[in-house]
Amino acid sequence: MTAPAALADAALAEGLLTGLGGALPPRLGVAVSGGGDSMALLSLLHGLCKVAGTHLEVVTVDHGLRPEAAAEADLVARCAGDLGLHHETLQWRGWDGQGNLQNAARHARYALMADWAARRDLPCIALGHTADDQAETVLMRLARRAGVDGLAAMAPQSQRQGVTWLRPLLSARREALRDYLRRAGLEWVDDPSNDDPRYTRIQTRQTLAALAPLGLDVETLAEVASNMARARDALDQHADHAAGNILRMEAGAWVIRADAFFAEPEEIRRRLMIRALGQISGGAYPPRRGPVAALIAGLANGQGATLDGCQTLLRRGEIWVFREYNAVRNLHVPADHLWDGRWRAVPPTVFPQGAELRALGPEGLAYCPDWRSFGRPRAMLLSTPAVWQGGRLLAAPLAGLDEKWHVLLERDAGWLKTTPLSH
Ligand SMILES: Nc1ncnc2c1ncn2[C@@H]1O[C@H](COP(=O)(O)OP(=O)(O)OP(=O)(O)O)[C@@H](O)[C@H]1O
């Protein structure tokens, strides 16, 4: 190998290690489609893992959408075999013909890979997204009027479905990875859909090339993404600090000091509200900017609202954010099961036969003579968990009925820093 080639390989490996935060986990999965980016990732990671003593396994998803897909999975299997690595091809045959095929395939791919990781005891999976992918994402999000979080684009590390997803090639250029593969004499396949101008990403890629004379190139846009990621972290830190001072949790609801809330900048108010809503609803995606702004504007005028399966109201200088009764009124589970994704009942001794957890509702509240003494809004109490046996209310601990029973929040009731703020 010539000196410049060796230097280029060393620079890629070093960039990869930096992209992994400078260290490798003891066990790692790598997602390889057979395309140039992920084949280069596989080869480079294999070198690093050997040195670090990391156990590496390889996965490919065959979506069954193109006739070549099986051969591509075989190519990856062969390459992994040559490197002495365990490889699995996961089949997806689940499209029901509804919605956007690309999105359905992507969701299915991540779900299949997350199951694989759990089965193989691999806490992390590396993906081959490059600086080019990052720049295209920034440009596409600009078109969707993204804010700071959206323009921060893809994170080098993110948690989803119980897996830490790593993107260690976010600083590498697609072409540099192909040069690496050519030098190493390694094969890869070019997915024909990468040239299909019907896809927004491909149109974006072509447009990006045309924007280069304006200085709007891949490096610039990728740098914008890192700048935005830093700005996002600063905003999150401010929001966390504000949350510590102005917000408390009461009986599963967030209670916010209204004067302090409205003294915060608009962007911080938005973040606080989105997190409060997300923690109660458990939704994977936050509500959109417009409805959140309208909800906050309404509260400034003393008007409550519903959004994302939650309800807000302003009372005695405090904003209450709680589960909307309508979102849980038909939710019945056996009393020893988790209710609404976050509540568990604890009986005085054992669970009575046939007992179930259900919202308290207006009919239950009528059996709770002391509910006013807790200072909790009526609307909020309606959606709290209660223990029923047929039509009989056994306990409603949050409304003061039968203190021998307890209901506890199972999902972390602390301030959730990880709620995603952008779609
Ligand atoms: N069929 C596949 N099997 C295994 N891994 C895959 C597959 N497709 C994509 N990947 C992984 O995901 C990375 C990104 O691929 P690609 O850009 O095509 O995905 P995408 O659909 O844009 O997904 P994302 O939403 O994550 O951007 C690849 O480098 C590879 O690591």
Q: Does the Cβ of 106 fall within 6 Å of ligand 1? A: yes
pLDDT value of position 394 = 96
Tell which atom from ligand 1 comes closest to the C-alpha of 169: 29
Query: Could you give the C-alpha distances from 314 to 92, 201, 209, in angstroms and in order?
Result: 48, 44, 51
**Is 1's pLDDT higher than 80?**
no
31 CB within 6 A, ligand 1: yes
- Whole-number Å distance, alpha carbon 45 to ligand 1 midpoint, is 17
User: For the chain, what is the mean pLDDT?
Assistant: 93
Torsion of CA 267, 201, 110, 106, to 10 degrees: 110
Query: Residue 184: which of 8, 322, 420 has the closest Cα?
Result: 8
User: How confident is the model over 324-351, as pLDDT tens digits?
Assistant: 999 999 999 999 999 999 999 999 999 9
Rounded CA-CA distance 55/205 in Å is: 35
Task: Please choose from 127, 134, 141, 174 the residue to mutate so as to test ligand 1's pocket, defined by most ligand atoms within 8 A of CB.
Answer: 127
pLDDT band at 420 (very low <50, low <70, confident <90, very high): very low
| pLDDT higher than 50, residue 417 | no
Rounded to an integer, the average pLDDT of 353-360 is 97
- What confidence tier does 199 reach under pLDDT thresholds 50, 70, 90? confident
Distance, CA of 312 to CA of 304 (rounded, Å): 5
Give phi and psi for 416, each to the nearest 5.
-85, 110
Strand ordering across the sheet containing 305-307? 247-250, 253-257, 318-323, 310-315, 305-307
Q: Is the pLDDT of residue 419 over 80?
A: no
Query: Are the C-beta atoms of residues 419 and 286 closer than 8 Å to each other?
Result: yes
Judge whether residue 284 has pLDDT over 90. no
How much is the pLDDT for 196? 82
**Does the structure show a pLDDT above 60 at 288?**
yes
52 or 413: whose pLDDT is higher? 52
Average pLDDT rounded to a whole number, residues 252-281 = 97
35 token code pair: 């395309």
Q: Which residue's C-alpha comes closest to atom 9 of ligand 1?
A: 33
Q: 423: pLDDT confidence band, cut at 50, 70 and 90?
A: very low
Q: What is the pLDDT of residues 93-108, one digit of tens each?
A: 877 777 788 889 999 9
Question: Ligand 1 centre and the CA of 100: distance in Å?
Answer: 16
Is the CB–ligand 1 distance for residue 38 below 6 Å? yes
> Tokens 């040239």 identify what position?
195
Cβ–Cβ < 8 Å for 111, 163: no
Q: Which of 13-17, 95-99, 165-169, 281-285 has the lowest mean pLDDT?
A: 95-99
Q: Confirm or deny that 36 is annotated as ligand binding.
A: yes
For residue 268, the SS3 value is helix
Tell me the CA–centroid distance for residue 196 and ligand 1, in Å.
Answer: 17
Ligand 1 nearest atom to the CA of residue 72, by list position: 1
Close Cβ partners of 208 (under 8 Å, ≥ 6 residues apart) = 135, 136, 139, 216, 217, 218, 221
Other Cβ atoms closer than 10 A to 6 = 11
Percentages helix, strand, coil for the chain (3-state, rounded to 5) are 45, 20, 35
- CB of 169 within 8 A of CB of 177? yes
Task: Give the Cα separation of 8 and 175 in Å (integer).
Answer: 12
Lowest mean pLDDT among 93-97, 119-123, 218-222, 368-372: 93-97
How far apart, in whole angstroms, are the C-alpha atoms of residue 325 and residue 264? Answer: 29
| Nearest residue to 74 (alpha-carbon basis) of 84, 87, 57, 83 | 87
Q: For 180-194, 266-280, 380-394, which range has the lowest pLDDT when averaged over its residues? A: 180-194
Cβ atoms of residues 211 and 217 within 8 Å: yes
Q: Hey, what domains does the chain have and what are their CATH numbers?
A: 3-225 (3.40.50.620), 245-324 (1.20.59.20), 326-409 (no CATH)
How many A from CA of 390 to the centre of ligand 1? 50
**33 annotated to bind ligand:** yes
Its ipTM equals 0.95
Residue 168 in contact with ligand 1 by CB distance below 6 A? no
Res. 110: pLDDT tops 60? yes
What are the residues whose beta carbons fall under 8 Å from the beta carbon of 4, sequence distance 6 or more? none
Q: Is the dihedral of CA 14, 16, 20, 23 positive or negative?
A: negative
Token couple for 123: 């806490």
* pLDDT value at residue 90: 97
130 lines ligand 1 (CB under 6 A): no
- Quick: pLDDT tens for 368-381: 999 999 999 999 99
340 is annotated as contributing to ligand binding: no
pLDDT band at 416 (very low <50, low <70, confident <90, very high): low
Which stretches does DSSP call E strand in 32-101? Answer: 55-62, 86-91
Cβ–Cβ < 8 Å for 9, 26: no
Q: Calculate how far, in angstroms, residue 12's C-alpha sits from the geometric centre of ligand 1.
A: 20
pLDDT digits (tens, 9 = 90+) for 61-105: 999 888 888 999 999 999 999 999 999 999 998 777 777 888 899
pLDDT score of 414: 60
Predicted confidence at residue 413, as pLDDT, reads 55
Q: Name the closest-CA residue to atom 25, ligand 1.
A: 106
Rg of the chain taking only CA atoms, in angstroms: 26
Best residue among 109, 113, 130 to mutate for probing ligand 1, ranked by most atoms within 8 Å of CB: 109
Q: CB atoms < 10 A from the CB of 211, how many?
A: 14
